[in-house]
C-alpha cells in the first residue's frame, strides 16, 4: 500500500528506480527494523539489500525480496538497476554522506541519480490507521506518566531525578525509549526553551517546564506541561493564561485546506497584543510520527496544507529571560 503510493509517484516523475537509504523511511515502507540496509524499488521488483547480520530478520519482517549485499552495497544496487533496465534512479540526498554518494556515483556510470527528499516525506504527511493507533498509544504513555510524575515535583527534588523517573516510568508502560531527551527546566532555567535536566533542585515558587515524549513501536509522542510549585505569582498566572489562550487560538486556526504557516502567525499576533511576541522564540509546532519533528511545520516558513490524517503539535511559549518561562504543548489530529 505505502510502496504502491511511491510507485505511483515514480510513474508520474518518470523514475525507473528509487533508492531508499533513510532507515526510518525503509521501516515505513517495508517494515524492516534493522539498523543497516538499502531499499531499492523498481516498477517490477522491491529489494531490501542487507548484510549477513540482517538476512534472517529482513526475511521475517518484510514481504520484499531480501538480497545479500555481497560485500558492496553500491555494486549490488548497480547490478539490480541493470537487471531492471533502470536508467533514472532517485536517491535521498539529505541522508547520504558525500563519501557514500561518491562511491555510488562511481559505479552508477550510465544511470542518472536524481536527488529526492520529498516524495516519501509527502506520503508520510498523512498518517494511516495503523500509524494513528501507534501515535495515540505513544501519547497515552506520556500523558499517564505526566499524571504520575506531577505529584512528585516538590521542593528539594532535582530536575535530573524527575527526568530519570519520567523515562523509567515510560519504559515500564511499554515505551521502547524516549522520543527525545526529556526537558525539565525549573525556576530561572524555565526560560530556556530546551533546558534539559540538571542537578538543580526544585524550589518553592518555581515554574517547571516538562517537555517529554515516548517512542512506541517506532512512533513518537511529544507534550509539554508547565507547573508551578506552591502558589503562582501574579505574573506567572498572567503569562500562563496568555499562553493558554494563544494555544487555543492556534488550535482553532488548524483547518483542512489551511496553510501550515497560518496558526503560527495568528499566535504571534495574539502575543503582540500584550507586547510579548518577542518572547516567543520558536515555531508553533510540527508534525509528529516516525520522526518527533517532521512536516508539516507550523512556522512562518511552513508551506504545507493541512489535510485530514495529519498529526501536529501546538506549543506556544513565552520565555522571560532570568525570570521564568511557560510552554504548553498538545498533539492535535486533523480530521
The footprint of Mn ion (CB under 5 A) covers: 222, 313
In whole angstroms, the minimum distance from the beta carbon of 119 to Mn ion comes to 25
Identify the residue whose cell numbers are 527534588: 157
In whole angstroms, the minimum distance from the beta carbon of 19 to Mn ion comes to 31
CB closer to Mn ion, 155 vs 177: 177
Alpha carbon distance 9, 15 (integer Å): 8
Using CB positions, name the residue nearest to Mn ion: 222
CB closer to Mn ion, 149 vs 331: 331
- Cβ proximity of 284 and 299 under 8 Å: yes
In whole angstroms, the minimum distance from the beta carbon of 329 to Mn ion comes to 5
CB closer to Mn ion, 247 vs 313: 313
CB closer to Mn ion, 66 vs 298: 298
In whole angstroms, the minimum distance from the beta carbon of 222 to Mn ion comes to 4
Using left for φ > 0, alpha for ψ between -120 and 50, and beta otherwise, residue 174 falls in: left
CB closer to Mn ion, 46 vs 327: 327
CB closer to Mn ion, 9 vs 327: 327
CB closer to Mn ion, 222 vs 294: 222
Amino acid at each position: 500500500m505505502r510502496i504502491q503510493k511511491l510507485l505511483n509517484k515514480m510513474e508520474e516523475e518518470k523514475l525507473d528506480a528509487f533508492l531508499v537509504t533513510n532507515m526510518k523511511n525503509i521501516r515505513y515502507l517495508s517494515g524492516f527494523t534493522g539498523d543497516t540496509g538499502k531499499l531499492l524499488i523498481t516498477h517490477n521488483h522491491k529489494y531490501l539489500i542487507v548484510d549477513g547480520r540482517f538476512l534472517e530478520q529482513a526475511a521475517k519482517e518484510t514481504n520484499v525480496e531480501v538480497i545479500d549485499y555481497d560485500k558492496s552495497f553500491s555494486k549490488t544496487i548497480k547490478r539490480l538497476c541493470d537487471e531492471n533496465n533502470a536508467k533514472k534512479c532517485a536517491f535521498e540526498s539529505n541522508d547520504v554522506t558525500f563519501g557514500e554518494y561518491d562511491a555510488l556515483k562511481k559505479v552508477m556510470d550510465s544511470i542518472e541519480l536524481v536527488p529526492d527528499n520529498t516524495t516519501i516525506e509527502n506520503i508520510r504527511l498523512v498518517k494511516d490507521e495503523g500509524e494513528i493507533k501507534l501515535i495515540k498509544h505513544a501519547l497515552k504513555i506520556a500523558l499517564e506518566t505526566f499524571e504520575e510524575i506531577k505529584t512528585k515535583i516538590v521542593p528539594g527534588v532535582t530536575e535530573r531525578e524527575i527526568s530519570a523517573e519520567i523515562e523509567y516510568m515510560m519504559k515500564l508502560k511499554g515505551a521502547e525509549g524516549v522520543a527525545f531527551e526529556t526537558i525539565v527546566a525549573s525556576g530561572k532555567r524555565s526560560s530556556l526553551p530546551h533546558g534539559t535536566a540538571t542537578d538543580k533542585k526544585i524550589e518553592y515558587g518555581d515554574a517547571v517546564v516538562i517537555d517529554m515524549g515516548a517512542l512506541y513501536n517506532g512512533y513518537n509522542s511529544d507534550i509539554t506541561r508547565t507547573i508551578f510549585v506552591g502558589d503562582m505569582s501574579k505574573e506567572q498566572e498572567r503569562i500562563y493564561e496568555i499562553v493558554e489562550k494563544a494555544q487555543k487560538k492556534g488550535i482553532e486556526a488548524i483547518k483542512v485546506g489551511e496553510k501550515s504557516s497560518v496558526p503560527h502567525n495568528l499566535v504571534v499576533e495574539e502575543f503582540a497584543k500584550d507586547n510579548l511576541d518577542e518572547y516567543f522564540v520558536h515555531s508553533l509546532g510540527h508534525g509528529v510520527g516516525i520522526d518527533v519533528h517532521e512536516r508539516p511545520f507550523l512556522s512562518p516558513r511552513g508551506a504545507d496544507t493541512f489535510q485530514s490524517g495529519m498529526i501536529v503539535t501546538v506549543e506556544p511559549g513565552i520565555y522571560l529571560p532570568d525570570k521564568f518561562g511557560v510552554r504548553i504543548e498538545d498533539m492535535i489530529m486533523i480530521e
